[in-house]
Structure 1
Amino acid sequence: MKRPKLAGVFLFVGCLLGYLMFVKNHYSASKPYRLPPHHRTGDGRTAAAAGRSFQYGIMFDAGSTGTRVHIFKFQMESRETPRLDHETFRAIKPGLSAYADEPQKCADGILELLQVAKSNVPPSSWNSTPLVLKATAGLRLLPGEKAQHLLDTVRALFLESPFLSRDDSVSIMDGTDEGISAWITVNFLTGGLHGARSPTVGMLDLGGGSTQITFSPQDEVRPSEELPLSPQTTRMAPFRGFNLEPIIPNTHPQSYLGLGLMSARLAVLGGVDAPPRGSTELVSPCLPPEFSGSWEHADIIYTVRGQKAGEPVYQACLTKVEKVLYRKVMKASEVTDTDFYAFSYYYDRAVDLAAIDEQQGGTITVSTYIDAAKRVCSGSSVSPLQSPFLCLDLVYISVLLQELGFPPSKQFKLARTINQVETSWALGATFHYMESLKNL
């Protein structure tokens, strides 16, 4: 009797071991689903377990000199400000305005940038990723019908793409919105939007067709003390996107169309009243004496030359620039107490002067631009590597900054990127658009 019982025990144990081996082999052979590495946190928890998710946004910046695509990947954290996990950036030339007479020819460049977007957004996220194009001064300066044909061409391409695109996904951006969006970008990257008590920085942007200044005074401004608003200036509503606190009710955005560096060159050279077609000659004291060359602006090729040696170039050019800027911009005393970042042509001309490193950026004062303008304008000749417009550009920048209210001693930070992210309006505009989709 004992042997059968003992045999039964061995049989039971053998069956149990066989079953356990089967389970082990079965699960070892299978490949359970795992989240990709970038969906896991530093302590090994999955994004879902940590209350995190990822969202993408695609913004096309259609500027006056080129079209750029920004592909943003946001790490969304519950009850926290989102974090920019990654940005992909690509640019092509020329700008959309170059195709004003043949809008269909812009399609190749747009399709090229769409392919970049498809390569950097997971296919599973395509239909939930907003695709937006905002055009700036280049299209704002075009006749309405020509600008609309370009926008319609892009809109058709966007609607055929696999991304989330609507009729309002393609538009011309208001200059004030451009300034506000750039301000949001900079303060998001520097930490100024991470709490109502965090200090914010001001933003200066000098493009080709327009210029913007946006800042929030450090001291609260009472209604009776608010800055006067020009026809080109509006007050921004509180920004509530992405769970950010409404901390921007007192921001002062100003945008000036026609006062970008390239448009200002034309005005200072006297080309505003030039014939709309064909080649024309412009003579200016802002160019080196005896200089003669050509310059293309808005599809018009100008013959430009300097005046004969005589009156000091700097003083003569200063008079011209002051006349162009007379009563064109608002001066605000509050800017002296606010830290500012400056971008675009402010940055490029500082690089030309070797005042900052081309890759790393740096700091510069208004007086550096003033002193450099005097030095460059006093030169008797133009070196092969120096632009003949450098004197004019530096005088214009130095006068513009002073007209905006900055003293010669004011220092700016110059940067093309902050934490490896492009310091353009694109990030701020993407925030705003993605938030607007939630209200539909």
Structure 2
Amino acid sequence: MIFLISLICAVYSNRFLAPDEDLKNNPQCYGSIFDAGSSGTRVYIYQWNCRKEWTLPMVNLSETSNNEKQSPGLATFANDLDGIQNYLNPLIEFIYKVVPKNVYKYTPIMLGATAGLRQLSQIQQNEIIATVQQIFQKTQLYYNESWVRVITGQEEGMYMWMSVFYLLNQNVKNLLTMDLGGASTQNAFPYNATGPDFVLLNVNPNVTNFSLYAVSYLGYGNDQARISVLKLSIQGDNDVIYSPCFFKGYSANTIIDNKNYTINGTGSLELCQNLILQLLNTTQNTSINQSYEPPVVGSTVYGTNGIYTMADFFNLTSFTKDSYYNKLQDLTGLTWEQANQTYPKNPYLSTQFFMATYVYSLIYNGYNIPSDTTVQAPASINGVSPSWTLAACSYQLAQINCTDDSPICQFNAYSSILVIFYVLALGFLN
């Protein structure tokens, strides 16, 4: 009988506990998360030392991401649910190429949809999310249906703040993050107060709680704002829009509210700023659309996504109000012909006039960032790009038992159970 119990323990130990040699010698774990934004979907794959206990799974972190995102945004499939499978397949295959096959079953697959889906009806959101859940369930990866959802704007701002805070090794005080997407913009910073825009945030089980202010403005992302500003320049039934927010000499056709228009750029920085300020609708004491926002207390400020994109366009990794404005003046002083000569083969050049101006106005008028503040806008922090996906992946994994995503933790947990069972069995027989 003792031999039989020993044999059973040995068999189950090998079946459930023993990782292969590669995992024992190089215990690396992975997590994948899709950022389903308004203009496209990208997948991020994070790698870390496998967890041995129930902690945040982000130690010695590294990142692999697909440089090419799937366009357009996931929201465009509201009336073509069958097309989502082919849309996501290249990103799923990318995960299979990056993650070793022997850890597929431990590798979470997640998706967070942002402002693009938030603009749809609840029924459309539910149908798209349900379709993605069915697709993910059929993969070889570790799947939980709660990991596929539409995240709120406040969550998006909160996760971005958490990600930057983590990448800065949690030793920065008064951190403020500003995030500019295609359909929404978010900011977040610690502030000791309570209310609908405040969240009590536990960044790490061993770190003091934060009272964090996090807010999102739907419709004020770069793409949506550009359309809104164009509408402000429509004159009656005229199908030609003379826009100061496009380079002088630029001309192209566009569709707004199912009507065809021709955009003729007039290239005026001052007039473009006036239109953007009209859209932002701020006062000295209020934020976007005259909403209340507590006074900015962040002394360390990071700009991400669209803000980083424009900083990178200007070859800036950080900037002040004056240094950015000097670059802005140089860009907007060009004609369309001169811009093409200065920035050849740039596929986004036609909208850079507006975006550069919008970023400036958003930071210093929309969010009221002090003019002497240095805004950091790096491509990466300690080798990892700042993205809300990092904190979302980490936070959601911290809620589950690490036996699910770590073979090392599984080995320790089940070994302890079997050892206890074995000792008790021997005691009973003796």
TM-score calculated relative to the size of structure 2: 0.74
For structure 2, the 5+ residue unaligned runs are 1-18, 283-288, 344-348, 405-430
CA distance in 2, matches of 1:280, 1:176: 38
CA distance in 2, matches of 1:148, 1:80: 32
Q: 1:80 deviation in Å?
A: 7.6
For structure 1, the 5+ residue unaligned runs are 1-32, 41-46, 48-52, 357-361
CA deviations on 1:18-63 (whole Å, 9 max, x unpaired) are: xxxxxxxxxxxxxxx9843x755xxxxxx8xxxxx65432211111
CA distance in 2, matches of 1:397, 1:89: 25
Choose from 134, 158, 169 the match for 2:112: 134
Alignment-mate amino acid for residue 80 of structure 2: E
Choose from 51, 54, 63 the match for 1:87: 63
CA distance in 2, matches of 1:78, 1:264: 46
What count of residue pairs does the alignment treat as equivalent? Answer: 366
RMSD of aligned Cα (Å): 3.4
User: Are residues 1:419 and 2:382 paired?
Assistant: yes
Q: Secondary structure of the residue that 1:253 maps to in structure 2?
A: strand
Would the aligned equivalents of 1:366 and 1:406 in 2 still touch at CA under 8 Å?
Answer: no
**Residue 273 to residue 163, structure 1, CA distance change in 2 (3 Å):** farther
Would the aligned equivalents of 1:373 and 1:395 in 2 still touch at CA under 8 Å?
Answer: yes
CA distance in 2, matches of 1:299, 1:68: 28
Q: Secondary structure of the residue that 1:157 maps to in structure 2?
A: helix
1:147 maps to which residue? 125
Would the aligned equivalents of 2:181 and 2:306 in 1 still touch at CA under 8 Å?
Answer: yes
**Residue 100 to residue 78, structure 1, CA distance change in 2 (3 Å):** closer
**Residue 315 to residue 199, structure 1, CA distance change in 2 (3 Å):** closer
Would the aligned equivalents of 1:238 and 1:246 in 2 still touch at CA under 8 Å?
Answer: no
2:357 maps to which residue? 395
Q: 1:68 deviation in Å?
A: 1.3
- Using CA pairs under 8 Å that are at least 6 residues apart, name the structure with larger relative contact order, 1 or 2: 2
Q: 1:235 deviation in Å?
A: 1.7
User: Are residues 1:208 and 2:170 paired?
Assistant: no
User: Are residues 1:113 and 2:113 paired?
Assistant: no
**Residue 301 to residue 416, structure 1, CA distance change in 2 (3 Å):** farther
CA deviations on 1:322-360 (whole Å, 9 max, x unpaired) are: 11001325554334x52111111112222333x32xxxx
Q: 1:389 deviation in Å?
A: 3.2
CA deviations on 1:338-386 (whole Å, 9 max, x unpaired) are: 2111111112222333x32xxxxx2111223333334433445542255
Identity across the alignment (%): 23
Would the aligned equivalents of 1:370 and 1:394 in 2 still touch at CA under 8 Å?
Answer: no
Alignment-mate amino acid for residue 154 of structure 2: T
**Residue 345 to residue 184, structure 1, CA distance change in 2 (3 Å):** same
Alignment-mate amino acid for residue 245 of structure 2: C
Choose from 57, 71, 80 the match for 2:45: 71
2:9 maps to which residue? none
2:264 maps to which residue? 305
CA distance in 2, matches of 1:435, 1:165: 15
Choose from 384, 390, 395 the match for 2:340: 384
CA deviations on 1:239-276 (whole Å, 9 max, x unpaired) are: 265x34243x22211211111111111111117999xx
The 5-angstrom pairing of residues 366-381 of structure 1 reads 366-381=321-336
Choose from 155, 159, 165 the match for 1:187: 165
Would the aligned equivalents of 1:98 and 1:299 in 2 still touch at CA under 8 Å?
Answer: no
Q: 1:124 deviation in Å?
A: 4.3
CA distance in 2, matches of 1:282, 1:319: 16
